[in-house]
Amino acid sequence: MTIKEAQELVDRWINTTGIRYFNELTNTAMLMEEVGEVARIMARQYGEQSFKKSDTEVNLADEMADVLFVLICLANQTGIDLTEALEKNLDKKTIRDTERHRNNEKLKP
């Protein structure tokens, strides 16, 4: 699935099953909530925190998909083509960071 196809699929789902988009502010708050859930799992699975009994059913892939879903909702609501945005962002990073990363002693093997 392409990013464009994902944006179209989410839009169809929202306008049928979801009835309508939540407003942009609500979706922004939901995005922060979902990112927090990913952070919680990462802190426990890869960091020093231990899992709680309430964490027994955590699913990192599902939580990342929730983040992507809400981000796509916001892109659709604000008229952003995520494919175009990502391509431009990678171009910017390539121009800005190529030499910086090559010269970073911390990244050398």
Q: Where are the domains of the chain?
A: 3-81
CATH superfamily of 3-81: MazG-like (1.10.287.1080)
DSSP 16-73: HTS-SPPPHHHHHHHHHHHHHHHHHHHHHHTSSPPPPGGGTT--HHHHHHHHHHHHHH
pTM: 0.90
pLDDT over 90 at 34, yes or no: yes
Give tens-digit pLDDT for 35-89.
Answer: 999 999 999 999 999 988 888 789 999 999 999 999 999 999 999 999 999 999 9
- Identify the CA nearest to 4 among candidates 85, 89, 104: 85
